[in-house]
Chains A and B, each alone.
Chain A
Amino acid sequence: MGTERKVNNRRKFFQTSAALVGGTLLYAIIKPFEALAQPKEEELKTDKANLPLWGMGVDLEKCIGCGKCAEACKIENKVPKEPFYFRTWVEQYTVKNDGTVKIESPNGGIGGLKQSVPDEEIFKSFMVPKLCNHCTKAPCVQACPVGATFISPDGVVLVDETYCIGCSYCIQACPYGARFMNPITKVADKCTFCYHRINEGLQPACVEVCPTNARIFGDLRDKESDLVNFLQVNPTQVLKPHLNTHSRVFYNGLSSEVK
């Protein structure tokens, strides 16, 4: 074993290991950027300005807590009927005379909400339908490790069922409890604004069945739409504005008790 041999040996080792390590590193460095680059390409293909930007208004004064929306949603979107999985639900708020607030949503309001507090104790009571807020700065999209949750070009937050690894990180990241792990498909599930329907020019199922038109669905870019009109004439608010999610579901007459 001459010195030359030794040097060669060592050199060979360093070359191999450098190649291995370098390869891993390079891959590690390039990969994220590739992912970063992809949405941009898509952006180029579809001119966003020509697309609708979907949103929803909820007129709390009109909601009677019948729960038809929650029921229709489950049927339309094949959400398991067990009371742990909801794409949309209705909450009943009851502020009592002593100032305490009781919130209820048995079975998400399906079957209709009934008042459990005796009349004489009630200060005020109201219903609040909830769903995914289709946040513009969606924490769920930010958190998803593989990019299975994304915002469609027309502003709907969707989950790619063929891609989701089922880590539940997005569920943790959503401040509104709008997501659940579908026990059948085993992927994260949530309101899609009935994407399959709105693409056909139909209304989301919940909007369609609401007997009082408490939900107004529409294109935020269309100045003639009912939704834009609703936002124009009513002082509206979004849920948890301090979290800066820039959500696209707007409530009229939202009371400060609502969480």
Chain B
Amino acid sequence: MEEHYKHLYEALSQVDGYIYPNEIDLHWGLMIVLYPYITGLVAGAFILASLERVFNVKVLKPTYGLALLTALSFLLVATLPLVSHLQHPLRAYEILMTPNPTSAMAIFGFVYLWYLMVVLLLEIWFDYRLDFVLWSKKSTGFKKYFYKIITLGINDTDEKSAKLDDKLGYFITLIGIPSAFLLHGYVGFIFGSIKANPWWSTVLMPVIFLFSAMVSGIALVMVIYMVVSWIRKVEIDMPCLDTIAKYLFYILIIDFTLESLDQIHRIYEAEESFDIIKVLVSGKLNITLLIMQVMLGTIIPLVVIGIFQVYKPAEKIRKFSYFFVGILVLIGIFFMRWNVVIGGQLFSKSLSGFTSFKAVYSGLEGYVMAAVWLIVPLLILTFLLWLMPPWKKVVTHE
């Protein structure tokens, strides 16, 4: 507590202009930056998987299973930063027990559950059931038991049952696409629906969140695919990688267009809040927005992949560049979330001044914890890849 007060006194001494006295404390910190970031990665990875399956982009096959498992690993963690930031985390279940139907945050709980239980788990299950059955016969120890249990007693291995799995899996993917849109669109709505905050309150917010989610998810799967291939010492499938990068390029263009549209609209309409937002963007956010998000996270990746669309250098250069671009995009989208969440709280709702944000290293809201929430999904993914390696699958859908 003393520590917290000390922190606030320091912030008080740095207030610029006038802010309402209750605004010195920033209520949403790093954890709330992570929450849309992680959910976005999930939605994006899933949509990449769906591209292959529903839109029949066959070259993407090597990443299908990987994308699904990535989505699952991150989804399992997605709500944890949110819950850990609550002042009364033990009461979190109330969101599901007595949700307030007018609250964007309350309905998110259900969207999340729907997505986890109905979409992701089922789709993965249908995709793997037959493999589980076959693997259970070949393996020993923990793996054997796991495979046995996870088949839920359905041990058919004939062609008919494989067809049925495939059909049902396809059907789930079909439901999955709008669900992924819903999942992340909803996260955007949590911010976009706050009319008190002019930086958040825009109808474009859910759409921008959605496209940036796709961008980040695709970049993540791209990077993970490369890393996993290196570790496994197998050749990277270049047509696949080129195609992922192409999608990344197009969706990044849409994302960038939407965000620019939003800004241009603000500049042109120049509403009451514009003066303060102008100062926000050119001052407090200039590094995180103009350099991290726009320059590193958008322009450089666009230029690099853009060049590759007309001129294809050697594979080695492409691989290296894709890796580099993927990381840049992931950093860029992280800062996009940062600029929304933190940026939206830096200026006062009196539109007359600024407070400051200083993240701490330790504690539940600190950098260390944030890093943990980003590393845990990767550990889960490693475990899942060990347990159910997509590359060892006997059968894959048509």
Contacts and interface: CB of A to CB of B under 8 A. Distances in A.
B18 A103 contact: yes
Given A139-B195, A145-B103, A13 B153 contact: yes
Contacts of A163: 91, 94
A84 B25 contact: yes
Contacts of A144: 100, 103
A187 to B, nearest CB: 7
Contacts of A183: 1, 4
A89 B21 contact: yes
A86 B197 CA distance: 20
B23 interface: yes
Interface residues of B, number: 65
Interface stretch (B68-76, B112-120, B140-148, B320-328): B112-120
Given A82-B5, A145-B99, A181-B27, A6 B20 contact: no
Nearest to B104: A143
Contact of A177 (B97, B158, B161, B350): B350
B157 to A, nearest CB: 10
A190 B135 CA distance: 59
Interface string A126-167: 000010000000010111111100000000000000011111
Contact of A13 (B91, B104, B152, B345): B152
Given A146-B106, A181-B27, A259-B351, A33 B101 contact: yes
A45 to B, nearest CB: 19
Interface string A98-136: 000111110110000000000000000000001000000
A147 B190 CA distance: 16
B28 A172 contact: yes
B22 A179 contact: yes
B328 to A, nearest CB: 30
Nearest to B125: A17
Given A12-B153, A83-B21, A165 B99 contact: no
Contacts of A32: 99, 101, 106-107
A166 B100 contact: no
A171 interface: yes
A85 B86 CA distance: 19
Contact of B195 (A28, A82, A164, A243): A243
B97 to A, nearest CB: 7
Residue among A10, A33, A107 with most chain B CB within 10 A: A10
A187 B106 CA distance: 17
A53 B113 CA distance: 40
B196 A243 contact: yes
B95 interface: yes
Contacts of A181: 25, 27, 87
A21 B172 CA distance: 13
Contact of A28 (B91, B102, B113, B158): B113
Interface residues of A, number: 64
A38 B291 CA distance: 50
B110 interface: yes
B87 to A, nearest CB: 2
B352 interface: yes
Contacts of A166: 86-88, 91
A103 B15 CA distance: 12
Nearest to B100: A147
Contacts of B352: 101, 103, 259
Interface string B7-43: 0100010000111111111011000000000000000
Given A13-B153, A103-B352, A169-B105, A174 B196 contact: yes
Contact of A10 (B103, B156, B348, B349): B156
Contact of B161 (A6, A25, A36): A6
B8 A143 contact: no
A85 B25 CA distance: 9
Residue among A6, A24, A141, A169 with most chain B CB within 10 A: A169
Contacts of B350: 103, 177, 259
A6 B152 CA distance: 13
A178 interface: yes
A35 interface: yes
B362 interface: no
Given A9-B155, A104-B18, A179-B22, A31 B97 contact: yes
Interface of A: 1, 6, 9-10, 12-13, 16-17, 20-21, 24-25, 28, 31-33, 35-36, 82-86, 89, 91, 101-105, 107-108, 130, 139, 141-147, 163-169, 171-181, 183, 186-187, 243, 259
Given A20-B117, A101-B352, 5 more contacts: A6-B156, A166-B88, A175-B196, A181-B27, A187-B88
Q: Which 9 pairs from chain A and chain B are nearest by CB?
A: A166-B87, A177-B20, A175-B196, A103-B18, A168-B27, A145-B106, A186-B87, A259-B350, A145-B105
18 contacts: A6-B156, A9-B156, A10-B161, A21-B118, A36-B101, A82-B5, A82-B8, A84-B22, A85-B22, A86-B21, A103-B352, A130-B20, A143-B103, A143-B105, A145-B105, A146-B106, A166-B91, A177-B21
